[in-house]
Structure 1
Amino acid sequence: MRKPWFTCMWLALVSLPAYAGVPAESFQLLEPVHDGAGHALELKAPDGRLVPVARPYHGPLESRVRAVLASGVAEMLPAIDAQVRRVGSHPASCPSLGNGIAIYISDEDGGFARKDLYVERAPGRPAFCQDYFIDITLDRASLEDGLFEEVLAHEYGHVLLRRLLGPVPPTPSRQPHSVFTVTDPVTAFDEGFGIQMQPLAARMTVTPGFRARVEGRSAASAADLWLSRRETWVRETAVPHNDFVFAPAPPGENGDAYARWLAAETSLPADPCHLKSGDQMMASEGVAATFLYRLLDVGADSKAVAHRYAQLVQVLAHVGKWPAQAPLVALVRAWGEVYPGEKDDVTRLFLDVTYGATASMALHDQAEQLSCIGARGALTGFVPALKAYRRALAKLDARVAAGQTALDAALGPSLWLADPDVRIAEQPWSVERKLPLVVDLNTADEPALRLLLGDRLLAAKLARARRQGPFASLDDASRRAALDGDQQALLQHLASLYRALPDFVRR
């Protein structure tokens, strides 16, 4: 049941935390129970899934872990989690752990928000724990360079969303999610929410190694050229600066279609003359992360940040379930419902971050032209263009505030296409291609369309036609791109193949 706005405001105020000393029970540190062969033990949950068996962790790094948990962004999490548990409509049950945040220190590659495990308080007596927990790896290096606290913050973001909105529903896109990629609106919101906590963790850290890494003072290492390390860096730096509203530079024409697609999926947003469309922005976890970071990270005062998160919890509890369309737009609208006095400011922030692209194709194009002029240093053109853009943005803001233009007026429907014979890898570094490529005709870039369609000219025609705005339907795409009968039939066939695919739930 939705609560009146003044009740939500009161709950947010009384939820403000005091951080003096984080009780040990606020974080439940767990480690795997091993079988006789030394493997991490798993048991079947009531629904048949294999889940870990864990016991309390009291290893050699416990005191150092708890020192990290009592500082920086981690220090805020127990109070946030307590509020989430109070107001959320998706309760958990774990008597053996109480209400602390469970951290499972994995033997293997961690970094996941997971649900359900068994907890052994006494050997051989596992108790089922129906709750979310953070699966993470631990060593001295990750404590010293801040990676542990950064991953912890990211994964807790996923825990928060699942407590308030429930399990993430099946999503259409299959490609590896990344701050560089365009996937689908639900995946983008979920991952963007976790990502926005990483620059916050970087700003609030008291860990010297983390601070040195963020400020570029840590020792140079060729290992930093690896994709995942590059991505961590741009999450910390490019997200706050809103770089991901821009498209990546198109890959060269040389190379096979898969190599071009992979290059586009892993490239920095380096083209200042091309903004993502509104639909692409809503499916970009980088854009989602920027908006959420700017919405929630309101200054140096940790209590002000905590208050903002307390407000967010109330807003998400008001939403209550995963929105079917554009969760970012749904969040902005819900914020205005819960906190009417902040409706205009939050809406304006959203329009600022997205350059109005979800509400007006014309303003998107105007911002794109302004960026291109500015990037080339054309001062005589930039100054008048900037003034004109600001006037147009203010006009759009006023129209949205007055209810004359919808915040999502320029978004199109999802037009999903797939071909089970065109397969992609689960991760960029994976050799085997197991998953079908699935694309939305209203968000896919030219390399993705070329890989799916197997036709360079057809991909270019569709990408060019969409520059005038999102397609209303497959028939609209066929008409605007001047497709022949065979090409129209191909789009309809790929849409039917997508509908026949089984549901896909990301880990």
Structure 2
Amino acid sequence: MRERPDPAGRAVPVVSRVQDGEVHAAVQREAREGFTARMLELDALARGLAAPSRREPTWLYLSPEDGGFARHGFWLLEEGGERYVDAPYIDLVVDADSLADGGFEEVFAHEMGHVFLRRLLPSLPAGYSRAPHHAFSLTDYPTAFDEGFAIHFQLLARRLTANARLQAIDHGFDTRPFLPWWLSHRDRSLRIQGVRANLFVQAQRPMQGVADVLAAEQLSPEFDATRLRNGQQMLSSEGVVATLFHRWIGEAPADGLAAAYRPWFEAMAAMQARPLQADSPLPVLLLRELHARDAAAGRHAIGIFIDTTYGATVDPALPRQAGELALAGATGDIEAYVSRLKPARDALAAARESALSDPSRLDAALGPGLWLLADGEQGTAVNLNSAEAAQLSALGLSDQAVSQLLASRRSGAAFAGIEDAVARAGLDARTAARMKAQAAAMASAGPYPRR
């Protein structure tokens, strides 16, 4: 692959237009007849909202060896030379198998979700987390929003596809031994089933038998239904964000997708005027924008948000209360379950009404992003308000300090600052100085732009 610098100095590919061949014909057929055609209709809507006067096609780069990215800018070989195309495009490996089994439809839909965001919300900031992102792991607000929004289009593709093999895969009829255990395959499966089941509001349970404690915590596909994530963790989970969009769009029919997405796309485009930061709670800001533009649609979406997250962003006590109820249910303790069910429902209903009457309360339980960096610029980045034990230990904190921090945060509210965390957890001066130095290192390193 040949590359040359774009006007900003970035190395971007030099490509020629494919206009014939079997793959070209199959892709064009998908664009006319498959679910891909629906995604292109949504792209036309996004383009019209983002730049009404600008007309451009939707570009697909046939990657020779590695793909699956939304990228921007390339040089196009034409008669008379090379023309720079200042536009987003999908970088994807496309072959006969992925076209035949629906893999192309699903992955293309995911990557187009990223393209929509880059058209409508080009100021979307980078986040601070350096952790690999998966549907089941925790990163930061921008990463979770970007990836969660893209993931929900995979579920849409599966619901509306006419591809028989993708339908069979979705229903569990087309399986192969051993392959589902590989990380990327497991992630793909959990993206679908976990989003549908709202699995990711639950805390991960570290995997047994994994020597790397960070991997055991961050890559675990095991969840504890008796312990829900806090509000900051939920908005840092791409799986939770995907569930929100999945439920917000609902069962919109194939011929009604543009109408279903228009208010959301318009709200995203309006968010471009906001001064977005790495720790801006993006789903909350989107809900407020939607509510301001269409009160009825906003109220409906806020209700789904509160129910999906168990009110975790409004009141830190609600997910704890839900976890206690879940424990009674998991053990079959009918007396405890029944006695706790009505209070839990009443508390959640009160949180819903509070947020509906005043959307500014949607993030009342969210603390600031308290990011610390250990082990150099590419090391472990830890948010004190969302980190679990392994991440906190990676900062070099003692087991006692980790336990004190977690106990204080889980039993109370989010930390207001490092000083608040130190005081509430009863940490010593040496530990406090270490944490402040790591916060300074994080500020110096800055956000982490992902490809």
TM-score under structure 1 normalisation? 0.84
Select 2:396's aligned residue among 423, 434, 453: 453
Summarize the Cα distance change of 1:47–1:405 in structure 2 as closer, same or farther, 3 Å threshold.
Answer: closer
Matched, 1:109 2:66: yes
- Tell me, yes or no, if the aligned pair for 1:71 and 1:206 is still in contact at 8 Å: no
Matched, 1:381 2:343: no
Aligned to 2:73, the other structure's residue is in SS state strand
Select 2:15's aligned residue among 51, 54, 58: 54
> How many angstroms apart in 1 are the aligned matches of 2:257 and 2:328?
36
- Tell me, yes or no, if the aligned pair for 2:374 and 2:394 is still in contact at 8 Å: no
Select 1:370's aligned residue among 320, 325, 345: 325
> How many angstroms apart in 2 are the aligned matches of 1:409 and 1:54?
49
- Tell me, yes or no, if the aligned pair for 2:370 and 2:418 is still in contact at 8 Å: yes
Select 1:304's aligned residue among 256, 280, 284: 256
Aligned to 2:15, the other structure's residue is in SS state strand
- Tell me, yes or no, if the aligned pair for 2:126 and 2:142 is still in contact at 8 Å: no
> How many angstroms apart in 1 are the aligned matches of 2:164 and 2:344?
42
Matched, 1:337 2:299: no
Residue in 2 aligned with 1:43? 4
Counterpart code for 1:107: P
> How many angstroms apart in 1 are the aligned matches of 2:123 and 2:270?
16
Aligned to 1:406, the other structure's residue is in SS state helix
- Tell me, yes or no, if the aligned pair for 2:288 and 2:359 is still in contact at 8 Å: no
More moved, 76-85 vs 47-56 = 76-85
More moved, 265-274 vs 67-76 = 67-76
Residue in 2 aligned with 1:317? 269
CA positional deviation for 1:171: 1.9
CA positional deviation for 1:251: 4.4
Select 1:289's aligned residue among 234, 242, 262: 242
1:180-199 mapped onto 2 (5 Å cutoff):
180-199=136-155
Residue in 2 aligned with 1:10? none
- Tell me, yes or no, if the aligned pair for 2:123 and 2:272 is still in contact at 8 Å: no
- Tell me, yes or no, if the aligned pair for 1:171 and 1:184 is still in contact at 8 Å: yes
Summarize the Cα distance change of 1:339–1:121 in structure 2 as closer, same or farther, 3 Å threshold.
Answer: same
More moved, 264-273 vs 216-225 = 216-225
CA positional deviation for 1:63: 2.2
- Tell me, yes or no, if the aligned pair for 1:453 and 1:459 is still in contact at 8 Å: no
CA positional deviation for 1:298: 2.7
> How many angstroms apart in 2 are the aligned matches of 1:503 and 1:364?
29
Structure 2 gaps, min length 5: none
Summarize the Cα distance change of 1:246–1:491 in structure 2 as closer, same or farther, 3 Å threshold.
Answer: same
> How many angstroms apart in 2 are the aligned matches of 1:456 and 1:56?
58
Residue in 1 aligned with 2:409? 466
CA positional deviation for 1:209: 1.4
Aligned to 1:54, the other structure's residue is in SS state strand
Select 2:105's aligned residue among 141, 146, 149: 149
Aligned to 1:68, the other structure's residue is in SS state helix
CA positional deviation for 1:246: 0.3
More moved, 452-461 vs 442-451 = 452-461
1:92-241 mapped onto 2 (5 Å cutoff):
99-122=56-79, 125-241=81-197
Moved over 3 A (4+): none
Counterpart code for 1:78: L
Aligned to 1:46, the other structure's residue is in SS state coil
CA positional deviation for 1:68: 2.4
Matched, 1:245 2:206: no
Residue in 2 aligned with 1:270? 223
- Tell me, yes or no, if the aligned pair for 2:203 and 2:227 is still in contact at 8 Å: yes
> How many angstroms apart in 2 are the aligned matches of 1:251 and 1:76?
39
- Tell me, yes or no, if the aligned pair for 2:233 and 2:386 is still in contact at 8 Å: yes
- Tell me, yes or no, if the aligned pair for 2:313 and 2:362 is still in contact at 8 Å: yes
CA positional deviation for 1:79: 2.2
Counterpart code for 1:49: R
CA positional deviation for 1:502: 4.5
> How many angstroms apart in 2 are the aligned matches of 1:66 and 1:241?
34
Number of equivalent positions: 446
Aligned to 2:21, the other structure's residue is in SS state coil
Residue in 2 aligned with 1:87? 49
CA positional deviation for 1:361: 1.3
Question: Could you say which structure has the higher helix fraction?
Answer: 2
Aligned to 1:396, the other structure's residue is in SS state helix
> How many angstroms apart in 1 are the aligned matches of 2:134 and 2:372?
21
Aligned to 2:369, the other structure's residue is in SS state coil
Select 1:73's aligned residue among 31, 35, 40: 35
> How many angstroms apart in 2 are the aligned matches of 1:487 and 1:352?
38
> How many angstroms apart in 1 are the aligned matches of 2:128 and 2:450?
10
Counterpart code for 2:105: E
Aligned to 2:176, the other structure's residue is in SS state coil
Deviations 1:260-299 (A, max 9, x none): 1111111125101110000101111111110011111334
Deviations 1:84-121 (A, max 9, x none): 122216x897xxxx522101110021000000001123
> How many angstroms apart in 2 are the aligned matches of 1:215 and 1:82?
31
Counterpart code for 1:472: A
Summarize the Cα distance change of 1:195–1:321 in structure 2 as closer, same or farther, 3 Å threshold.
Answer: farther
> How many angstroms apart in 1 are the aligned matches of 2:441 and 2:292?
40
Counterpart code for 2:216: A
